[in-house]
Amino acid sequence: MSNFSKVKEYLHELEYDILTEDTQSELVVVANHEQGITGLVIDCEDPILVMEQHIFDVKSDNADVYKDLLKINREVIHGGFALDDTGKKVIFRDTLELENLDLNELEGSLNSLAMMLSEYSDKILKFAKL
């Protein structure tokens, strides 16, 4: 079984909906509305799995927002906040090794994102408005 097939199997087992799929690029976009996750991009870039979730757009450079995001990163169990290549989008990003990936490891990363969204939703909404 390919790594991509294994990841898709795990996502189904964890009750994530696959919104779009590109088998050639080994990429899926998933959602789990109960967890507050929608539009999470999962890309199997051998030897790693890359997960990215758009969180909000940066409207103005505000050092306090970046400082607070870095403080939140310290509390996040897996993954963390990053800026995209344009520097205009705050994303949540996590990477995992594909070779030894198991269900528990993927679930832990997904749960980390869900917990961060739940725990810091008020701050994230505030940051998105600044």
Number of independent structural domains in the chain: 1
**pLDDT tens, residue by residue, 55-93:** 999 998 889 999 999 999 999 999 999 999 999 999 999
Bridge partners (DSSP) of residue 43 are 27, 50
pLDDT for the residue 85: 95
| CA angle (85 as vertex; 38, 95 as ends), nearest 5 | 55
pLDDT at 26: 98
Query: For residue 96, what is the domain's CATH number?
Result: 3.30.1460.10
**Is pLDDT of 1 > 90?**
no
Burial 4-42 (b: 16+ CB within 10 A, else e): bebbbebbeeeebeeeeeeeeebbbbbebeebebeebbb
Over residues 95-126, the pLDDT tens digits come to 999 999 999 999 999 999 999 999 999 999 99
Nearest to 116 by CA among 68, 67, 45, 59: 68
Question: Which of the four pLDDT bands, split at 50, 70 and 90, describes residue 51?
Answer: very high
Q: What is the pLDDT of residue 61?
A: 87
Domain span including residue 62: 3-129
Please tell me the pTM assigned to this model: 0.93
What's the pLDDT at 100? 94
- The pLDDT assigned to 130 comes to 83
Please state whether beta strands 37-45 and 48-57 pair in parallel, antiparallel, or not at all (unpaired).
Answer: antiparallel
